[in-house]
Structure 1
C-alpha cells in the first residue's frame, strides 16, 4: 500500500492497481489519464495530505471532478479526484457546494425554495470547474457569467494551508477564482448565490435542412436588437445515420434555436414570435418551463463518450459570416464536424461585478463551439486540420480574446494570453506566483 494511504480516507492508487483507470475516467472517454498517483479525496483533509505529499516529492498536482474539461492525457504527477466531496446545502439564498457536485443536484436543491443557480447549459457538468472558468449558461445575457454569483471558496493552497477565498478572507485569491480557472489551488467547496426566478419561458425551436440558411440569417439579424434579458443560441447538427439515434434524427441536418427569458409566458411568447416566424418550425419545444428542467433548453448529452471540440469568441456577426457558415457546413459538406453552435452574448455578460473579477471574454459578442465527429481515429490529425481550415474561414469575426471554458487545448503562451485581457492576465499570474511559488499546480501551456 502506498505510504500516502495512511494519511487519507479516500483511495490512493498507482498504475496497475485495481480501480486506477475507473478512478480517472471522466466524461470524455477519448482521454485516458495515467499519472504516477491518483488520490480520491473524501475530505478537505485528504486534499491537504495529497498536496503536501506532492510538494515533498516534486510532483505536479492536477484536479479532476467529472472530467468534462479533459483535453490531453495526464501522464505524470498526482491527480486529486474530487467526486466524493459531494456535500450540498441551501440556506438563505446561498448554496454551499462540495467540489464533486454537479449542477443537477444544485438545481434540484434550490427549486423547492423558489430559487435557482445561474447554471451552465449542461446540468451534468461539475459546479467548481465550470465556475472557475467563468461559465456561460442558457441565461447568460440576463444573469451574466455564472462566476458572478460565486460568494467564496475553500481552497487548499500549495503550502497545504486551507484558505478562505472571499471578500472577508483572501480577497485577491477570491478575485482570481472568479474566472481565473487554474493554477490557484484545489477548491474543495464553494458558496454560490441563488436567485429568485418566479417564471421562466424557455426551450427550443427546430427547423429542417432547407430552412437552415434562412434561420441563421434571420437569427443574426434579430440579435442586433435582441432584448437584454433574452438569451438565445443556434446549433446546426448533422446527425449520422446510425441505429443508436432516434429514427426521427438519423441522417438529418437540423438547426435548433434555444431561447430563455426569465419572465412571464405572455411576454415570452411576444419576444419569441419573430424567431418562430423565421421559417416553418418542425418541433416547437418552447414554453413555460419549471426551474428543474433548465437543462432541457440545450439538451446536451449526459452519457460519457469520446469527444473532440474547440471554440472561442466572435465579434458581431453579419451576412458575410452567414455566407461562410453556409458554404462550410451543410448536409453534404466534406468536413468532419458533427455540430456548430453559436451563442449570443452581451447583456449582463459584458458587465463586470462591482468588486471586479478575473473573467475573460466580457467583450465577446458571440461564442462558438464546434463538435467533431465522435470517431477517435480522426482526433489526432483529421479534425485538427479541419479546425484550422474553419478558423481561417471565419478569421474576420474571431475575437482577439476568448474565455477559459471555451479555449480547449492550450498549446502556446500566445494562446494562453488570449484567455483574459492583458491586465487581467498579468494580475492572475501575480496571484499564481504568490499562492503557488513552486508551481506545483500544473496549468497553462504544456
Structure 2
C-alpha cells in the first residue's frame, strides 16, 4: 500500500529557526532548500507542486500584468494558472487534501479548504471559507478567524485554526497526500526587525497538531518553507521613479489617482524584493534600465531569462533590490491623491504587494468603521498607513542559506524543483 504523506508548509521557517521548533526538529535534520526567483508564496508553491522553474510553470510572482486584459492582478486562486503537471495530478488516483495552499480553486483534489469571502452587489463583503472537505469545519471549529489571516490583526489564531482543521481532515478522510499551509511567521517577521523565537515556538505547536494527526493515520510528515524573511530598512518606490521620468500614466478622479498600465510606457509590478518592469516601447528599454540601475536600493536590473523568469508573463526587465531594501508599489506623488484603496486591506486591487497592510493607523478608527458596518451603513476600512518605512522584513531573493527556506525530512533534496519527485518517491 502506498505511504501517506503530509507536506507541511511552514511559511518563513529557516534552517537556523528550526532550533526553536522542537516538534518539527524531531522529523529530521533541517536542510537549506534553494528556491526560485522570486522567492515568494505563489512562485515557490508552483515550483513545489510542479518541479519546474517559473520560466516553465508561468507563476512569475504573487501577481503580474495580464497584457491581454490590461490588468495587474495579485493573489489569483485558479489552479489553471499553473502551467505543468502538479503533484496531485501526478499521484492520481491517490487522493489529496489541499488545506489553504494557493491555487486551490479548480484543483483536481478530493478535499480542500481555502479563504473565500462573499461579495454583495452593494460592495459589501462577508468573510468565509470555501470548505470542500466534507468535514463541516466551521461547525467543528467555529468561524475561520479571517482577521488573523491577513491585515493589521494577523496572528496566531489563523494558523491555529488551519492546523486544527487540517488535523480533522487527516483523521477523518485519511488522504494519501495532505498539503497544509501555516503562515504565522509571515506577520511579525515583516512588522519587526527582530526574529522573535517565540513566534517559531507558537507555529511549532500548530505543526504539532498536524504531526499528531499524521502519526494517528500512519502518514509521514515533511516540512518545507517558501522563503526566509530578512531584515530590511529601505523601501524603494520604483513606480515613482518611472513616473518622474514621464513613463508611467495615471488617471485622476473622485477616488484618487489610478494607474493606467495600458497607457504607460513603463511601470513596475512590485513584489517584495523583486519587481517586474513592463516596458511597452522596446526603444525605451535601455533608458529605463539605466534609470533604475542608478537608483538607490536597486542592486541590479536584469533580463528575465538570466534568472529563470523567461516567460511571457514576466516584465521586459527585472529589478532586484539590495539585501536590506524592498519595493513598494506606490505610484502617486502626493499622498492626498493616493487611490482610496491604498489605505485599506485590498490585496486584489493594489497593483503590487503591500506589507503596510500589516499595520494600522488607529484602532479607534477601525472600531468606528466596524460600528458603521454593523449598522448596515456604507463604510471604508481606511486604516492602513501610507508609510513604507514601517516595514522591517521582506523576502524574494537568495539570502544566506541558513536564512532562506528549509526542508525537514529523511534524505531530503536541496532544490525546490526536486520536492515533487521526492514526495512521489516517499509515496511509492
**Normalising by structure 1, what TM-score?**
0.26
Higher relative contact order (CA 8 A, sep 6+): 2
**Normalising by structure 2, what TM-score?**
0.27
